Amino acid sequence: MSATTRDEQIENLIASLPIHVRENYSNESLEQFADLFADIDVDSSQSISVKELKDCFKSLEITIAKDELRALFQNLGTSLENDIEIEFLAFCGILKELSKDTKSRQRFRDNIKHILANKKRKSLQ
């Protein structure tokens, strides 16, 4: 069984979304979300653990209070009390929630640019 390439992984994540969800995002946003999801999903399990997500926020220097994270999870019908896995659909919902207000949206864009710049820098090394 051959390993899935990064591009295939991203395509599979996007294809896993229901059509009505894909229609709410630009192709560029979906590709960025899928790329970020793949970066956070360090074990390539096609889901993100709460720990992986917390580690991501921490590495991006995004300060998110436990109550804020709990509220995001509750909006998705989950909680921090269980060791849950976040699928790509829920991940898109979290990013949408984080990007609602102007400051959060700009911070999110800046962080995405930072991630992409780091990846580009690493690929050139």
The 3-state secondary structure of 68-105, one letter per residue: HHHHHHHHCCCCCCCCCEECHHHHHHHHHHHCCCHHHH
Structure-block tokens of residue 40: 């956070």
pTM of the model: 0.62
Fold of 6-124: Recoverin; domain 1 (1.10.238)
Q: What is the pLDDT of residue 98?
A: 67
- The domain spans of the chain are 6-124
User: Which tens digit of pLDDT belongs to each residue from 61-78?
Assistant: 777 776 776 666 666 555
Q: What is the pLDDT of residue 42?
A: 80
